[in-house]
Amino acid sequence: MHGVSENLFGVAGTEEQARQWLASYEQHGRDLVAQAQQVGEELQNATETVTSKNGAVTVTVGASGALLDAQFTDKARNLSPSDLAATLMDTVRTAQAQVAHQVADTVAPLAGDGDTMEFIRSQLPPLQEQDAESARRSDGSDDDSDDDFSNETFLR
């Protein structure tokens, strides 16, 4: 008999409607698993490579923000050690911010547009124009008199 009955959720409908609903729900579950696997692969391969404005440094960071590679061009030879360090750190921070936004965009289809994604995006560092040439020392001064390098490069 294919009459109307209540299913597990107390919703009235035919057995055929219940089977169709279950098949649809199972397909939705398979689709979510496939989407999660794709997101996982994208996250595993997520990197961001950034070159400093002055062209002295190029860095690559992974999805976690970990530094994967740093390359220095001949332009790095013209920088003082403190300027080279500031350029490197500024470039790494820029790459980390960019990869964080890339990761958020990658997980957005799974997280949706609700409170979860809003929270994730609120935790991201701001994307800003990198400005390694105007980087200041952590104490805010421009004075290099205590660096013992007297504006001579240590790179040859």
32 pLDDT higher than 70: yes
Tens digit of each residue's pLDDT (9 = 90 or more) over 115-154: 878 888 887 888 866 443 333 322 333 444 444 444 444 3
Report the range of poorest mean pLDDT among 16-20, 37-41, 43-47, 88-92.
37-41
Tens digit of each residue's pLDDT (9 = 90 or more) over 59-108: 999 999 999 999 999 999 999 999 999 999 999 999 999 998 888 888 88
Residue type, 20: Q
Place of tokens 């003082």: 80
Supply the pTM of this predicted model: 0.62
Helix (H, G, I), strand (E, B) or coil at 59: strand
Higher pLDDT, 77 or 3: 77
pLDDT value, residue 54: 95
Asked if residue 116 lies in contact with residue 145, where contact means CB atoms within 8 angstroms, the answer is no
Helix and strand numbers, DSSP H then E, in the chain: 3, 5
**Distance, CA of 48 to CA of 58 (rounded, Å):** 10
Asked if residue 124 lies in contact with residue 150, where contact means CB atoms within 8 angstroms, the answer is no
- What is the mean predicted confidence (pLDDT) over 15-25? 83
26 pLDDT higher than 80: yes
Asked if residue 61 lies in contact with residue 93, where contact means CB atoms within 8 angstroms, the answer is no
Place of tokens 């030879």: 77
pLDDT value, residue 15: 81
